[in-house]
Structure 1
Amino acid sequence: MNISVIGCGRWGSFLAWYADRLHHTVTLYGRDGSKRFAELKETRSNGLVTLGDSVQLTSDLSRAVQNAQILIISIAAQSLRMLMQQLSVLDLNDKAIVLCMKGLEADTGNRLTQIVEQYVPKTTTVSIWVGPGHVQDFTAGIPNCMVIDSRSPEAKEMLVQAFSSDLIRFYYGSDLIGNEVGAAAKNVIGIAAGMLDGLNKTALKGALMARGTREVARLIKAMGGSEITAYGLSHLGDYQATIFSEYSHNRRFGEAFVRGEPYGELAEGVATTTALLRLSELYGVEMPICRAVDAVVNQKAEPNRVLTDLFLRSLKKEF
């Protein structure tokens, strides 16, 4: 199949590498002026993956879209609306758009599929590809399980068939709301986990996992999804890769933040915290972990006090 990947970060580049490994015809799009894309054009490598000569590289968005049957988008969540404005003037009819990214729009609380659907024709299907997995593990041959979800059963079937391999086993999602919110919210839990690491309170990660999943499950249910989805691969199933892994940007950001150290990589959970608090107010769901992360990161509250209050000072029933 003809597949174009929009976004040349570590995950987008991996997806181009992965699709090429499955013998699809692959084009990878990157912006002019992007240092990452310039490096890929010069060396075919970003230090994590090396792209074969069969992968076409382009900075022409129209060219990337034109012949693609499947359009994979893997960019920063807060940049999605701007990209969709650019894509909306191109012919997207009958294409399958797959969002391989995790986040919510900070300004509106919108799910990413909601943003895409504002700009595409009715013949375009929109799906998500979420769940655990780091590039470093996949390229080392370590497999994992992931989820593809969509309102279109036909799109789910087509995508699972197109991308299943010995590296990734896909499950068919049945709760688009729950899988989108769960996948985005796990990054906020990842930041909280990093804060616990940075404060030498790593033992509290068990409590974080238990309470974090319940918190997100309540929101998913209030939004019309199934609360059991929070216990699936998009959220709880992604905790190892987000809360414990050395490769997790969100965990590493939280750890660096409480230690007062700079951290230059994108941590999607920061903007997602803002979006989740917006949804928390809209749906009347209390989200104490999310509020604690916001207090530390955005309101400059003292991390040790906030996290101690969160886990150790309230007396209440567990369920």
Structure 2
Amino acid sequence: MKTVVIGSGSWGTALAQVLADNHQDVILYGVEPAQVNDINNNHKNSQFFPNTDLNPELKATTDMNVVKNADMVVLAVPSAFISDVAKQVSDLADKKLIVVNVAKGFDPKTNERMSEAIRHAMDPAKLSSVVSLIGPSHAEEVVERQLTSIDAISQNEKDAQMVQSLFSNPYLRIYTGTDEVGSELGAAVKNVMAIASGIISGLGYKDNTRAALITRGLQEMIRFGTAFGGDPKTFIGLTGVGDLIVTCSSLNSRNFQAGYEIGKANEVEHFLKNNKKTVEGIRTAKIVHELAKEKNLDMPICEEVYQILYEGKEPSMCASDLMLRDLKREF
């Protein structure tokens, strides 16, 4: 099976290397010639992994036409570009494809989940299914072949099992699931929680605070996801609490890093003016705010993050306001 991984960033590179390690027919597509040359000639992606040697069998290209003969395409691009890239893939493909999405968030124009956005962007005659490959994983660790487990989630269980088989190896274990709604919403909301976790760290709070945040954040994730049809059991799995724990606890998380800078400065303006990295949780916070309002859902942590990012509220005030809300039962 020929696979094209679109996006030579950290996650795309790590997943392409997984397939190369598994002796699969894979090629990595990138838009930056210097990066592609680095991969092909030096077996490195120095921009993201300066100290890591890649599998020498991994090859990269700047020619999008490689999609034409693919059987599977992995979309490893930010959520804001998923629809446009999926349409490009659809226009170029000459057969039905399994499309693997690894982005976590929503389409910024339609508020659709990633799998919905991909299906709407592609010609149905070119699409076998969408499989979301998501869970608690940092590219920096996968590229070093650290032991990791994630999920292949799809409405098409057979294609999910195909993805499971292609990617699984001694250091990456893939489980399958069919709860697309719950898994994708959990993976999206956890990015907002990771920003909140970074903020409390930047403000100087420690383990007790983070434990409370993760636990109460999980309740918000469940509340939000089940309101849109997700299975409650999904949120105690890898795409729920698993993803939440790793993203709220790791300095490798861009969302955590963003929150930390915001919390340390106790204001958001400087970060928003100077940030040049993709921080999925920033856009997601706005969409979660809008969707929660439509459903009249109580999402206090997400709401405070929204107010920090979009209304300029001081992070220290948000922490205080969360603690001083009306007292109630936990469940």
d(CA) in 1 for partners of 2:295, 2:177: 24
Partners of 1:36 and 1:316 in 2: CA distance: 54
Q: Indicate if the aligned counterparts of 2:130 and 2:154 stay in contact, CA closer than 8 A.
A: yes
Selected match of 2:57 from 34, 54, 59: 54
Paired residues of 1:186 and 1:239 also in contact (CA < 8 A): yes
Partner of 1:111: 113
Letter aligned with residue 12 of structure 1:
G
TM-score by length of 1: 0.93
Amino acid at match of 1:24: Q
Distance of aligned partners of 1:85 and 1:156 in 2 relative to their CA distance in 1, 3 Å threshold: closer
Does residue 1:45 correspond to 2:49, yes or no?
A: no
Among 228, 239, 262, the alignment partner of 1:257 is 262
Q: Kindly state the Cα deviation for residue 273 of structure 1 after the two structures are TM-superposed.
A: 0.8
Query: Structure 2, unaligned stretches of length 5 or more?
Result: 266-270
Displacement of 1:210 in angstroms is 1.3
Equivalent residue of 1:89, what SS?
helix
- Residues 1:92 and 1:279: Cα distance change in structure 2 (over 3 Å): farther
Instruction: Assess if the C-alpha contact under 8 Å between 1:106 and 1:274 holds in 2.
Output: no
Q: Which residue of 1 aligns with 2:152?
A: 148
The equivalent of 1:271 in structure 2 is 283
Matches within 5 A, 1:1-150: 1-32=1-32, 36-37=35-36, 39-40=38-39, 43-47=42-46, 48=49, 49-63=52-66, 65-91=67-93, 93-120=95-122, 121-122=124-125, 123-150=127-154
Which segment drifts farther, 228-237 or 7-16? 228-237
Alignment-derived partner of residue 176 in structure 1:
180
What pairs up with 1:229-268 in 2 under 5 angstroms?
229-260=234-265, 263-268=275-280
Alpha-carbon contact 2:86-2:118 (below 8 Å) kept:
yes
The CA distance in 2 between the partners of 1:205 and 1:14, in whole Å, is 29
The letter for the 1-side match of 2:92 is L
For these two proteins, the number of residue pairs brought into alignment is 317
Distance across 1 between alignment mates of 2:327 and 2:77: 42
Matches within 5 A, 1:206-217: 206-217=211-222
Q: In 2, Cα distance between the equivalents of 1:270 and 1:294?
A: 8
1-structure distance, mates of 2:57, 2:6: 17
CA distance in 2, matches of 1:256, 1:228: 34
Using the TM superposition, name which of 262-271 and 291-300 deviates more. Answer: 262-271
5+ residue gaps, structure 1 = none
Partner AA of 1:253 in structure 2? A
Q: Distance between the aligned counterparts of 2:282 and 2:307, measured in 1? A: 11
Give the counterpart letter for 1:68 in structure 2.
A
Shift of 1:97: 0.5
CA drift of 1:95 comes to: 1.1
2:109 counterpart letter in structure 1 = D
Give the letter aligned to residue 246 of structure 1: L
* Counterpart Cα distance in 2 of 1:154 and 1:258: 45
Partner residue in 1 for 2:312: 300
RMSD: 1.9
Following the alignment from structure 1 to structure 2, what is the Cα–Cα distance between the partners of residues 160 and 175? 16
Greater fraction helix:
2
Q: 1:282 to 1:107 in 2, by over 3 A?
A: farther
Q: Distance in 2 between matches of 1:6 and 1:193?
A: 30
C-alpha separation in 2, matches of 1:82 and 1:135: 24
Q: How far apart in 2 are the matches of 1:31 and 1:140?
A: 24
Distance in 2 (alpha carbons) for counterparts of 1:313 and 1:17: 48
Does 2:326 align with 1:314? yes
Is 1:25–1:55's contact at 8 Å kept on the other side of the alignment? no
Q: How far off its partner does 1:38 sit?
A: 5.7
Quick one: structure 1 residues 79 and 117, their matched pair in 2 at CA, closer, same or farther if it must change by over 3 Å?
same
